[in-house]
Amino acid sequence: MKPTTAPKTYRVKSFGCQMNVYDGERIADMLDKRGIVPAPEGEEADLVVLNTCHIREKAAEKVYSDIGRLTKAGRKVGKEPLIAVAGCVAQAEGEEIMARSPAVSMVVGPQAYHRLPDMLDKAVQGERATDTDMPAIAKFAALPERTKRFPTAFLTVQEGCDKFCTYCVVPYTRGAEISRPFADLVKEAHRLAERGAREITLLGQNVNAWSGVDTKGDSCGLDGLIRELAKIPELQRIRYTTSHPNDFEKGLVRCHAEVEKLMPYLHLPVQSGSDRVLKAMNRSHTADSYLRLLEDMRAARPDIALSGDFIVGFPGETNAEFEETLALVDEVKYAQAFSFKYSPRPGTPAATMDGQVAKEVMDERLQRLQAALNRDQLAFNEASVGKTCQVLVERKGKLPGQWLGKTPWLQSAWFEGDVAIGDLVEVELLEAGPNSLSARLRNQVRSFV
């Protein structure tokens, strides 16, 4: 690799989960601090960071395809960009990316991206570098303070996972479970609220495994952190994702009943309705224990919207076991859900299990599952028609005078009126579609712009 001029513009392209979205934002913060600016829309960037996800099938091959497109586009304008591959594919593939793609200057894992600026200095001098170390939580102290203003913000409180589900690469790409200190999180939440964040979503691969020591020196779980953040005057809404059923404590259930700022929405992956499949997945819950937990949640917060994750076609899944998943869906009636065909991830136990399900069987099962989930999502939205609720205005709509925001139940709602991004407004929900609702503005509750 030849020395090159320092980049003036950048583009961060993030894939996958909300943790990756957060990481992408923090990478952008570091580049902003270096005086590198986002590339204008439609223009090629001097530096491109591919912030990758390893959950989906053929994730690595898609990265190589993106690298090829970037290289080709750069040649057309007479200058190939510096390319950095970050995220979980970077962690899993490491030196293989460097070997296969000479166009890549930097490969950095999700626990080491705070060292990207130093790697960039070396890349400008013609050096290629890989950093996939997994230092315990060191990156957060090294990241710059966030300065951008948004009405909503992500706050990573926990990273990694110790569950070792047999289909999942997260323990290998994100490392062991680790919690950020209580005081650091409260301080960062205050700063986000001071900069205009009206809603904060607490993030973690297994967010309800977070634990810490509060200001009194007492041990506390996620519910204690939420109760402390709810004291921040400017902060109006709190959410969290993604939870694991095994770590769902009674205190967090009570939190939903007692903390007004905690939104009535819960994303709690189940993956399958079959106990045998759940055991093969190394999930520590059963269908019954999962359903009982949801009953507790509904007792605590009767209007709560439930969301889940599903995998169809896990090795050995029979037709009868898939029907158990459909039966669970029929019982829960999810407001939202995410569903996927099983895809083997290299290095995971499930990848070598007997009974790999044929693609056409998985396709058919996924279609049936998604039809049921879509039915219930529409039904939940239709049941919301006529309600009056608060919506946090997040962005402009496609039409003049139109605005988009989220209801307490994380539904997208659009309406017209004289408002601004960051306003918390009261609307009446008028008409439901599968993915959003139309609404009528009743009054502007408060402006935070």
| 88 annotated as belonging to a binding site for a ligand | yes
What mean pLDDT is predicted for residues 227-233?
A: 98
| 161 annotated as belonging to a binding site for a ligand | yes
Per-residue confidence (pLDDT) for residue 110, from 0 to 100 = 86
Model confidence pLDDT, tens digit, residues 184-198: 999 999 999 999 999
CA distance linking residue 26 with residue 142, whole number of Å: 11
Per-residue confidence (pLDDT) for residue 391, from 0 to 100 = 97
Model confidence pLDDT, tens digit, residues 305-360: 999 999 999 999 999 999 999 999 999 999 999 999 999 988 899 999 999 999 99
Per-residue confidence (pLDDT) for residue 187, from 0 to 100 = 96
Residue written as token pair 């993915």: 435
| 53 annotated as belonging to a binding site for a ligand | yes
CA distance linking residue 110 with residue 203, whole number of Å: 14
Query: Which residues neighbour 414 within 8 Å (Cβ) at sequence distance 6 or greater?
Result: 397, 402, 403, 404, 436, 437, 438, 439
Radius of gyration of the chain (CA): 23
Q: What is the biggest distance separating any 2 CA atoms in the chain, rounded to whole angstroms?
A: 64
Type of residue numbered 415: F
CB environment 132-151: b (16+ within 10 A), e (fewer): bebeebebeeebeebeeebb
Lookup: tokens for 319: 């037709």
* pLDDT for 448 beyond 60: no
* Whole-number Cα distances in Å, 122 to 26, 28, 82, 118, 257: 20, 19, 12, 7, 52
Average pLDDT across the chain, whole number: 92
| 220 annotated as belonging to a binding site for a ligand | no
| 389 annotated as belonging to a binding site for a ligand | no
CA distance linking residue 382 with residue 367, whole number of Å: 22
CA distance linking residue 316 with residue 324, whole number of Å: 14
Q: Between 382 and 77, where is the model more confident?
A: 382
| 168 annotated as belonging to a binding site for a ligand | yes
Type of residue numbered 186: V
Per-residue confidence (pLDDT) for residue 260, from 0 to 100 = 97
> With bands split at pLDDT 50, 70 and 90, how would you rate the model's confidence at 384?
very high
First-to-last C-alpha distance (Å) of the chain: 47
CA distance linking residue 166 with residue 439, whole number of Å: 44
CA distance linking residue 419 with residue 413, whole number of Å: 14
CA distance linking residue 449 with residue 416, whole number of Å: 18
CB environment 387-417: b (16+ within 10 A), e (fewer): eebbbbbbeeeeeeeebbbbbbbbbebbbeb
CA distance linking residue 413 with residue 428, whole number of Å: 10
* pLDDT for 2 beyond 70: no
The whole-angstrom distance between residue 415's C-alpha and the CA centroid of its chain comes to 26
Cβ atoms of 88 and 50 within 8 Å: the answer is no
